[in-house]
Amino acid sequence: LGGSISRAIQQMSNATIIDEKALNDCLNEITRALLQSDVQFKLVRDMQTNIKKIVNLDDLAAGHNKRRIIQQAIFNELCKILDPGKSSFTPKKGKTSVVMFVGLQGSGKTTTCTKYAYYYQKKGWKPALVCADTFRAGAFDQLKQNATKAKIPFYGSYMESDPVKIAEEGVERFKKENCDLIIVDTSGRHKQEAALFEEMRQVSEAAKPDLIIFVMDSSIGQAAFDQAQAFKQSVAVGAVIITKMDGHAKGGGALSAVAATKSPVIFIGTGEHMDEFEVFDVKPFVSRLLGMGDWSGFMDKIQEVVPMDQQPELLQKLSEGNFTLRIMYEQFQNLLKMGPIGQVFSMLPGFSAELMPKGHEKESQAKIKRYMTMMDSMTNEELDSSNPKLMNESRMMRIARGAGRPIRDVMEMLEEYKRLAKVWSKMKGLKIPKKGEMSSL
């Protein structure tokens, strides 16, 4: 998708005369690309109308940042679709909340329930799982297995065939046990059928959830809108989770789900494992959808805050994708100063959000300083190498001794380096603007 959209924009900006026709051609091309990416037809059509209103042809004709204006307009429109204008119910730690999951069979409910519980458990919550799926043979076993693995209390039954009763009993039991997040997994069917929706209504009445999360497989294509709408019409869906974003899914269905349920996407599933679960963030998602990488906002930020004379060097380093320990050292310095470049890096997904999570700034700073002390004991060769094999045990021991730290600290620092190198390498091949071209990216 990203490819065809940038091609369309490129073609238009190559046109000598930017008139209504050139813009229309470009928009048609983009429309096609969005449809192929499973964005619902009506959404695409509305978006096209909006863009025409926003994009002022006179500005375009004057030759100012044509590509940029259009790209930005598309970006903003897609972000707008993904923002339903209100946030969903957010559970509060220490207070009891009941969250019910709904969705078709195979959409990923049971897997996602556990991921959701695990996500909160890691933050110190007391989640619990209730299996109100009596339709699918083995449903309880699956939930039990997941829950046991994550050490999360669960409730269910092999004998009872009434999901309503199980939901009621399970919620009651975990309320008594002072769990603060009671998660009710439900059954699905292969199709959207009346019996399923009736069951969801009844379970919802019994469990009295504070939030109902609609779980949708991202690979269902154009069917997303109808499916989401059908669930919304039978129960009070308040949030959406999109699963299997690791596959070939093009992601456009997320826009449909939001439009149909008028509820925000809160997480996405990116794999079968418990921790393959990410908080949903509109802008990076749209960037990805448009093939702009995750770095659209990032490039803007660079232009905004990095002093002009430092931009080329920084971009050069980024585009080489070659992350050395020395670069890490420099970025740590920037992060600690929270100067302009530090601000830029705080925007990189996975960079400082993990390195310096909100609320833990003090500990994180101490950790970064510790890492830097160890790096001070490294040789130039070690700092400038991007060969991970160079760091053998004897080097690590020498560094540990030099810094007066245990060797496991050195190992931890090198692990962090590997993680950051991965983030950094995603920017490899970043197009570096030539002098004077910065603003027309």
| Site for ligand GDP, rule CB under 6 A | 103, 105-111, 188, 243-244, 246-247, 269-272
When CB distances are held under 5 to 8 angstroms depending on the partner's kind, the choice from Mg ion, ligand GDP, none that residue 66 binds is none
Q: How far is the CB of 438 from Mg ion (least distance, A)?
A: 50
Q: Are 89 and 121 in contact (CB under 8 A)?
A: no
Q: Please, which residue, 139 or 356, has the CB nearer to ligand GDP?
A: 139
Which region among 108-116, 144-152, 327-335, 388-396 touches Mg ion (by CB under 5 A)? Answer: 108-116
Q: Minimal CB distance to ligand GDP: which residue?
A: 269
Phi and psi (nearest 5°) for 155?
-140, 140
Q: How far is the CB of 87 from Mg ion (least distance, A)?
A: 27
Q: Which residues of 215-224 are buried (b: 16+ CB within 10 A; e: fewer)?
A: bbbbbbbebb
- Say which residues have a Cβ less than 8 Å from residue 358's Cβ, sequence separation at least 6: none
When CB distances are held under 5 to 8 angstroms depending on the partner's kind, the choice from ligand GDP, Mg ion, none that residue 270 binds is ligand GDP
When CB distances are held under 5 to 8 angstroms depending on the partner's kind, the choice from ligand GDP, Mg ion, none that residue 363 binds is none
Q: Please, which residue, 312 or 349, has the CB nearer to ligand GDP?
A: 349
Q: How far is the CB of 146 from ligand GDP (least distance, A)?
A: 8
DSSP 154: E
Residue (of 240, 280, 277) closest to 122 by Cα position: 277
Q: Which amino acid is at 223?
A: A
Provide the residue count of the chain: 441
Binding to Mg ion by residue 110, rule CB under 5 A? yes
Q: Please, which residue, 274 or 383, has the CB nearer to ligand GDP?
A: 274
Q: Please, which residue, 188 or 209, has the CB nearer to ligand GDP?
A: 188
SS3 letters for 345-381? HCCCCCCHHHHCCCCCHHHHHHHHHHHHHHHHCCCHH
Tokens of 256: 């449909």
Site string for Mg ion, 64-103 (x = CB under 5 A): ----------------------------------------
At 35 the three-state DSSP class reads helix
Q: How far is the CB of 149 from ligand GDP (least distance, A)?
A: 13
Phi and psi (nearest 5°) for 362?
-60, -55
Q: How far is the CB of 215 from Mg ion (least distance, A)?
A: 9
What is the C-alpha to C-alpha distance for residues 63 and 417, in angstroms, rounded to an integer? 43
CA count, 13 A, side-chain hemisphere, 217: 17
Binding to Mg ion by residue 114, rule CB under 5 A? no
Q: Please, which residue, 113 or 299, has the CB nearer to ligand GDP?
A: 113
Q: Are 438 and 315 in contact (CB under 8 A)?
A: no
- In this structure, the strands spanning 277-279 and 265-269 are antiparallel
Binding to Mg ion by residue 186, rule CB under 5 A? no
Q: Please, which residue, 243 or 296, has the CB nearer to ligand GDP?
A: 243
When CB distances are held under 5 to 8 angstroms depending on the partner's kind, the choice from Mg ion, ligand GDP, none that residue 84 binds is none
Q: How far is the CB of 52 from ligand GDP (least distance, A)?
A: 37
Tokens of 96: 């009891």
Q: How far is the CB of 104 from ligand GDP (least distance, A)?
A: 7
What is the C-alpha to C-alpha distance for residues 38 and 216, in angstroms, rounded to an integer? 14
Q: How far is the CB of 188 from ligand GDP (least distance, A)?
A: 5
- By the criterion CB under 5 A, which residues form the site for Mg ion? 109-110
